[in-house]
Amino acid sequence: MPASPARKPSNPPRKKTTASGTPAARKRAAHGTPVPATKRRGRKIEDKRSVILGAALSLFSRFGLHGTTVDQVAARAEVSKSNLLYHFANKEELYVSVLRDLLHIWLEPLRGFSAEQDPREAIAGYIRNKLTISRDLPDASRLFCLEMVQGAPLLRDELGRELRDLIERKSEVIRAWVADGRLAPVEPHHLVFALWAMTQHYADFAVQVETLTGRTLADAGFFEETVRNVQAIVLDGIARTPGAAT
């Protein structure tokens, strides 16, 4: 009897492969969802802009608008001049962009003022935040000061809008604190001007501060000493103890 022909082994049933089961999908699951190309490109552009703005701030704060060239900024940022001009049309646009960023950082601590806050805590926190900016971003404070001394030729419109609107809103908060008897009678604008002057002095006149004290805000002990003293000078002059006679 002839041998039966060998039977071919049957192929195991193929598993359905879903999109989530592909090697590429498993790799994405293991490493997180990949960032879309357009988002990566946008992030790269923002990173490049930040590097250029940082280089421009360093030079503008030392030499001003007219004493700084596009070539110098490009060299400091380690980009080509054409690449810099891709992000900013000209030196003036770059300068205004730097100042706008500074204005946003500079005003941010003031935005948190609200009538519901305890004024001592709010003002004490504001002083600490402004001194932190003076410590960490002294170039920014000096450039802003330079622009003001020159009459704010390129920032006047910004000052007339964002700065004025913010100060008017926060002046109402200060007036509410005064009306509630939680602050001594004080005109809000003068209080704000005094806070700016006292905190920014340590950046704008850092050389003078170091010459007279031998220390800077980079010294942690001197920083805390400065915070305590400025807070005491301001708050002992305007704060009211709850229930105290006006």
pLDDT (tens place) for every residue of the chain, 246 residues total: 444 444 544 454 444 444 444 444 444 445 555 556 666 666 777 788 999 999 999 999 889 899 999 999 999 999 999 999 999 999 999 999 998 888 888 888 899 889 999 999 999 999 999 999 999 999 888 888 888 888 888 788 777 778 889 999 999 999 999 999 999 999 999 999 999 999 999 999 999 999 999 999 999 999 999 999 999 999 998 766 555 544
State the burial class of residue 132 (Cβ atoms within 10 Å of its Cβ: 0-12, 13-18, 19+). Answer: middle
Separation in Å, CA 135 to CA 36, 51, 107, 167 = 38, 20, 16, 23
How many Cα atoms sit within 13 Å of 184 on the Cβ side? 9
**Beta-bridge partners for 239:** 183
Torsion of CA 27, 32, 35, 36, to 10 degrees: 50
Report pLDDT for 227: 98
Separation in Å, CA 166 to CA 1, 108, 145, 191 = 104, 10, 19, 15
CA pair distance 122, 110, nearest whole angstrom: 9
Q: Could you tell me the pTM of the whole model?
A: 0.73
